[in-house]
Amino acid sequence: MKKVVNVSLAGRSFTLEEDAYKRLKAYLDHYRSRLTVSDVQKGEVMEEIEERIAELFGQQLGGADKVVTLPLVEQVAQALGMPDGTSEGGSANPNPDYFKTGRKLYRDPDEMKIAGVCSGLSLYLDLDVTLIRVLMLVALVFGGTGFWVYIILWIAIPMADTSAKKCELRGLSPTAENMSRFTSYEQ
């Protein structure tokens, strides 16, 4: 029989085997020690990495009340790596695309003029944002459909409000190194 521990990651409840809990705690402590930002910024970064870990656990467990095992924690730790892009041992992360999600459509809060719709579409379609904005303007001027299309997209497309979503918007694997590019603080 193994002991299990109930933990909360980013507001989601998980049951971990005791050895998996110890390994996850060690990983998070090591991750925090490798961050080179202020204490306030460390808190924000740690919240985002916990959100990503919770998301990966949820994907792997399928939303059921299953127990997180040590191999799963090892896979997640290996896939996320450290803030500088290395594994915990210091070598380059051997499998950065383990949890690659592909490109997803979100509104981009970093380059938005009104609601980030055009910027998000340009990143998703890999087109220049100016071209998308000109096309929206032309659709607005000729027939007025551009206004309604923009409003519908504004409502339908979610905002990329976390570092992991910003990575997915750009087609990057949401590893710790990539997520650190999109943290909400200024470096």
Higher pLDDT, 164 or 85: 164
What is the structure's pLDDT at 185? 44
Q: What is the largest CA-CA distance in the chain?
A: 70
How confident is the prediction for the chain on average, in pLDDT? 77
- 15, 4 contact by CB (below 8 A): yes
CA dist., res. 150 & res. 117, Å (int): 7
CA dist., res. 33 & res. 42, Å (int): 9
Radius of gyration of the chain (CA): 19
CA dist., res. 84 & res. 50, Å (int): 17
CA dist., res. 56 & res. 176, Å (int): 13
Q: Which residues contact 166 (CB under 8 A, 6 or more apart)?
A: 106, 108, 110, 160, 179, 182
What is the per-residue pLDDT across 98-150, written as a single tens digit (0 to 9) for each?
455 567 888 888 887 888 888 888 888 888 888 888 888 888 887 777 788 88
Give me the DSSP letters along 4-61: EEEEEETTEEEEEEHHHHHHHHHHHHHHHHH--S-HHHHHHHHHHHHHHHHHHHHHHH
Q: What is the mean pLDDT of residues 68-87?
A: 76
Q: What is the mean pLDDT of residues 92-96?
A: 46
What is the structure's pLDDT at 187? 38
Domain ranges of the chain: 4-100, 117-156
Closest residue by Cα to residue 56 from 32, 35, 34, 27: 27
Tokens of 101: 């999600």
